[in-house]
Amino acid sequence: MVKGKKDGGKGMKTKVLLIVTVIALSFCGLANAGTLSNWGPTGVSEIPNAYVLSFGVGIGPNIGFYGEHTLTRIPITLGLGVGLEIGVTGVSLASETEVIPIIHAKLNIIEEKPLLPSISVGGLLDLNNVLGANTFYLVLSKEVGNLKGHIGAGSGIYEGIFGALEFKLTDKIDLIGFYKSEKIGVALNINILSFLNATITYHEGFIGQIGASISL
C-alpha cells in the first residue's frame, strides 16, 4: 500500500511538472531556434558566429555521420543577457557508451552596428582531452539585407580560418555555405515554429540537428 502511494505521488509530480512546463512555455518569449551550432555555441551548423543568446536557454541535439563513425552531440546553452553565454555539450561516439562533457563560453565584445560587425571571442574546454587541444576563437558577423556573413579564426576544432554565408530563401528557410577544417560544407535551416527548427548539413558527412530556444 505504501509503495502504491509513492507511485501515485510520483505520477502526480510528473503531471504537475508537465503543467508547469506548458505554462512556462506559454508565458515565455519564444526565440528563433536556429541559434546553436552543433558544438554548442550560437552559430551556423559546424561553426560559431559572433551573436550570443539573450537571456534564455537553447538546446540543439544533433547526430553526424563521418565515414564509419557516428557522432552524437547534445548542446545546452544558457544566455545570461549581458553579452555572455555559457553551456555544456555532451559528446558521444556510437562505438562508446561514455558521454564526454565539453564546456563552452562566448563573450560579445562589440555589438553589431550599421557600419560595424558584431565581434565575439569564445572557447571550448575539453576536460577529458578527447578532442585534443582546447579551442579558442575570434569571430565577426554582419547582416546585410537577406545575407549574413561570418568569418573567424581559432584553434582546436576551429583550427585556422572558418566562415559562412547565410542566404534567406524564404521567411522560414535559410541556405548556408560554410568553410571549416579546410573543407566546404552546405546546410539548410528550416524554421518549423518560432522556437523550433531543423538543420540538415553536409560537411564531412551528413549531420541532422533539431534546435529549440526559449527567451526568459
Q: What is the pLDDT of residues 86-144, one digit of tens each?
A: 999 999 987 777 889 999 999 999 999 999 999 999 999 988 877 777 899 999 999 99
Close Cβ partners of 102 (under 8 Å, ≥ 6 residues apart): 39, 40, 88, 89, 90, 91, 124, 125, 126, 131
Domains and CATH numbers, the chain: 31-215 (2.40.160.40)
pTM value > 0.85:
no
Look up cell 531543423; give the residue.
Answer: 198
| Mean pLDDT for all residues in the chain | 85
